[in-house]
Amino acid sequence: MSGMTITQKILARATGRASVAVGDIVEPAVDLAMSHENAALVMNQFEEIFKGTSLTPTVWDPSKIAIVFDHRVPAESSKTATNQKKVREFVRAQRIARFHDVRGDEGGICHQVLAESGYDRPGSVIVGTDSHTTTHGALGAFAFGIGATEMAAVWALGRVLNVEVPATIKVVVSGDLAPWVGPKDIILSLIGRLTAEGANFRVIEFHGDTIEWMNTSGRLVLCNMAVEAGATSGIVPADDETVRFLRSEAAVTGELDLVCADPGAEYEEVVEINAATLAPQVACPHSVDHVQPVTAVEGRRIHQIVIGSCTNGRLDDLETAARILRGRRVSRDVRMLVFPASWRVYREAMERGYLADLVEAGAVVMNPGCGCCLGIHQGALGDGEVALSTTNRNFKGRMGNPNAEVYLCSPAVAAASALTGTISDPRY
Amino acid sequence: MSRVVLVLGDDVSTDAIFPGRFMATVLPAETPQFAFADLADFNKGVRDKTITPGSAIVAGHNFGCGSSREQAASCLKGPDLTIVARGFARIFLQNASNLGLRTIICPEIEASEGDEIEATADEIVNVTTGRRCRVLPLPSARQAIVDAGGLVAYARELLIAERTVTL
């Protein structure tokens, strides 16, 4: 028998089998099922499943469900507020413990909250009603996005139905990144090479010395955007850094199972990236795979800069921005919005002075949340305006206006560009 | 026979199908009003029902890429459309089969708005142009759910079997 990839090993264990092969149909047990505001739709479908049966609608295991409000916090309309109210009532009735409401102590963007709260475990199966659930592969989990009805079935049955074991693309990243070049530039470059559907129905497994040296924050960036190449999931082999993060930053105790790929694991494709020669990258409108080095779009006039989202709103992202902006001024041609990824990130950035640096430079620090990225909660663009953003998608209409444009980049490119009001190279 | 009412290119995102700014609307009965909200003519056709049930959207590769929002599938299921694409993004394809939205994978599909197309299990015939294109089967994991009439019915049967035994 040939060896298994990380994904195969996790799925084998989650189905109680010795091994699974690519293409097998399996029904893995779920360790963590995450939803955000769209829990309102999951609830509706969950009740539909129970309709006509004599059974009471109860979730299979309330300790394995997480619900985090992050898309519209605080509620921007009575409709959202009513949906959130219904979800709160459901959470209480079903005794769901991992609930993160609009709170300054434990709120934030779902993907950041899951990681920093210690809910992610290597070797586990995580599903979320959010396509960026791929993020949690950074901690060695097999994590993927599903729709609301599929989540309703998970809430009822505790497993994901009819999952086809995906093939894996191995991405090997080697070399030291140049100053002002980071994980975002690696993943944008990879998406540009693979295209927006190049990894559709496949998993991306990240290897190489660049990944081994990378901290968890950077790995979260890579896995977060794996879905932009169509990937079912991104995954980084769990290692000492994974253990360090979970123990010291997420207060995880107990045994950890660091699942690795077998030496003879079969990969559908191997892609190599030389990190040492990589320049800062920018994804141009209106597709995430329309990627160019920053030098190709330098000087493009922009109107709004956004630093934040589940991709790049963590402490080191804010630190990078603060270092560039400290004692300087955001250009009067541009407005700059900063959304810390969670309230924990917010508080730490406040304690370290990053928020003061940013605000004194002219940036506006918003409350943690992800609504700006998809144009549903603050920071919408005007007709003909151009945004430069550390978020993850630039589809037409993404930031709330189909007559606007969004460029995607790293926090370093975003902050350097804030000084000039045009897309700028942070290296100069 | 289906009339092609909309022809689109590659990488049609769920932000195009169901723009994020309408996402507070979640119930399948209410989502069709925002289907392709930024394509004014098409959206009007859905709202005033001049686009008739059984009509088809033809698209390129990676239809439904991006967000997992199920509204993108339910807003097309409501007016009973068929989506013929050269390929679909994974989550969209799952949402579609879960909700019973008809999706056909047809790697060489070519059609213009107004064409009439006829689908069989193996091919799509563009009746207007005479062109025939092969159809790829849905992933078998998806077909089982389609055959059951969607995931709600599929999951309900399992639920009754499992909880009745264990309770």
- Inter-chain touch A200–B139, beta carbons under 8 Å: no
Mutation target among A129, A163, A197 for the B interface, most CBs of B within 10 A: A197
Mutation target among A73, A133, A383, A395 for the B interface, most CBs of B within 10 A: A395
- Inter-chain touch A44–B95, beta carbons under 8 Å: no
Q: What is the C-alpha to C-alpha distance for residues A148 and A45, in angstroms, rounded to an integer?
A: 7
Nearest C-alpha in A relative to B91: A146
The two domains A6-273 and A281-420 share their CATH topology (first three levels equal): yes
- Inter-chain touch B25–A50, beta carbons under 8 Å: no
Quote the strand ranges of A160-230, DSSP E.
Answer: 163-164, 167-174, 202-207
H or E element, residue A9: helix A6-14
Give chain B positions within 8 Å (CB) of A157.
155, 158-159, 162
- When pLDDT is averaged across residues B145-164 and rounded to a whole number, the result is 93
Give chain A positions within 8 Å (CB) of B160.
53, 55
Q: How far is B128 from chain A (nearest CA, A)?
A: 30
Helix (H, G, I), strand (E, B) or coil at A342: strand
Given this model, what pLDDT does residue B163 score? 87
Task: Give B117-148 as a DSSP string.
Answer: EEE-SSEEEETTT--EEE-BPPPHHHHHHHHT
Does residue B166 surpass a pLDDT of 90?
A: no
Given this model, what pLDDT does residue B142 score? 87
Given this model, what pLDDT does residue A1 score? 58
Sign of CA dihedral A93, A99, A103, A108: negative
Q: What is the C-alpha to C-alpha distance for residues B125 and B143, in angstroms, rounded to an integer?
A: 22
Q: How far is A50 from chain B (nearest CA, A)?
A: 7
- Inter-chain touch B90–A79, beta carbons under 8 Å: no
**CATH among 3.40.50.10790, 3.40.1260.10, 3.30.499.10, 3.40.50.300 for A6-273:** 3.30.499.10
pLDDT band at B121 (very low <50, low <70, confident <90, very high): confident
Give chain A positions within 8 Å (CB) of B139.
164, 201
Among the residues of A298-423, which ranges form H helices?
Answer: 309-312, 315-325, 343-351, 354-361, 411-420
- Inter-chain touch A149–B152, beta carbons under 8 Å: yes
Give chain A positions within 8 Å (CB) of B98.
147, 149-150
Mutation target among B21, B42, B165 for the A interface, most CBs of A within 10 A: B21
pLDDT band at B165 (very low <50, low <70, confident <90, very high): low
Instruction: Give A383-416 pLDDT, tens digit per residue.
Output: 999 999 999 999 999 999 999 999 999 999 999 9
- Inter-chain touch B159–A80, beta carbons under 8 Å: no
What homologous superfamily does CATH list for A281-420?
Aconitase, domain 3 (3.30.499.10)
Residue A383, number of CB atoms within 10 A of its CB: 8
B149's tokens: 């009439």
Given this model, what pLDDT does residue A233 score? 98
- Count Cβ–Cβ pairs < 8 Å, chain A vs chain B: 154
**CATH among 3.20.19.10, 3.40.50.720, 3.40.640.10, 3.40.50.880 for B2-137:** 3.20.19.10
Out of A48, A163, A230, name the one closest to residue B89 (CB): A230
Given this model, what pLDDT does residue A272 score? 98
Give chain B positions within 8 Å (CB) of A72.
24
- Regions of chain A short of the pLDDT cut 70: 1
Give chain A positions within 8 Å (CB) of B34.
none
Question: What are the domain boundaries of chain B?
Answer: 2-137
Task: Give A114-176 as a DSSP string.
Answer: HHHTT---TT-EEEESSGGGGGGGGGT-EEEE--HHHHHHHHHHSB-SSEEPPEEEEEEEESP
pLDDT band at B153 (very low <50, low <70, confident <90, very high): very high
pTM above 0.95, yes or no: yes
The ipTM of this complex is 0.96
Out of A48, A375, A400, name the one closest to residue B152 (CB): A48
Instruction: Give B75-103 pLDDT, tens digit per residue.
Output: 999 999 999 999 999 999 999 999 999 99
Out of A50, A150, A398, name the one closest to residue B94 (CB): A150
